Amino acid sequence: METLGKRLRQRRLELNLTLEQVAKGAGLGTGTVSDIEQGRQKGTTKLHKIAELLRVHVKWLEEGTGPMEAKERMVDPTPFSTHGILVTREGAQVGAEWDKIEGEEYRRLVVEFVEGMVAAQKRANRLQKETESASKAPIKGKPRPTKLD
């Protein structure tokens, strides 16, 4: 195969993955993956993530050289249904680990810990955004420099 797009498309179809699954797994838009496959876009900074999802070497995907398949087992991005709920392999793994926790007290502690981590992450993201926007705001009492004619 002579192009990145053709190699990406061929491998995606071999694994029965949709454009949406590849895009979501790599943190890209569906249009971006489609543009790469169609040759309208020559690449992305997240090519390594696409290669991981497709279980191929980045060099093969990008250049068509070297071995195609990566030896190590990658995460399967394909969601599946269990009890009528669509979950990922990672979600199922978390559920299996949860089932190993014995006792409501221990489960409550895990829930509190996770909720605390989520709250801390939200605060950190909010503070980062506030700091970024504050650095762009004019300093009170000092006018911004103006362009002279």
Give pLDDT, residue 149.
Answer: 47
Residues, the chain, total?
149
The pTM (predicted TM-score) of the whole model is 0.49
Angle between helices 4-14 and 30-38 (to 10 degrees): 120
Fold of 1-99: 434 Repressor (Amino-terminal Domain) (1.10.260)
Which has the closest alpha carbon to 51: 59, 41, 42? 59
On the 0-12 / 13-18 / 19+ scale of CB atoms within 10 A, 4 is: buried
Q: Tokens for 21?
A: 């699954």
Residue 33: CB atoms within 10 A of its CB come to 27
Determine phi and psi for 12, rounding to 5 degrees.
Answer: -60, -45
Cβ atoms of 92 and 46 closer than 8 Å = no
Give pLDDT, residue 82.
Answer: 57
Give pLDDT, residue 100.
Answer: 80
What are the tens digits of pLDDT across the range 98-114? 778 888 888 888 888 88
Rounded to a whole number of angstroms, the CA Rg of the chain reads 23
Strands 85-87 and 80-82: antiparallel
Domain segments of the chain as ranges = 1-99, 101-134
All residue ranges of the chain with pLDDT < 70 are: 1, 71-92, 126-149
Give pLDDT, residue 5.
Answer: 93
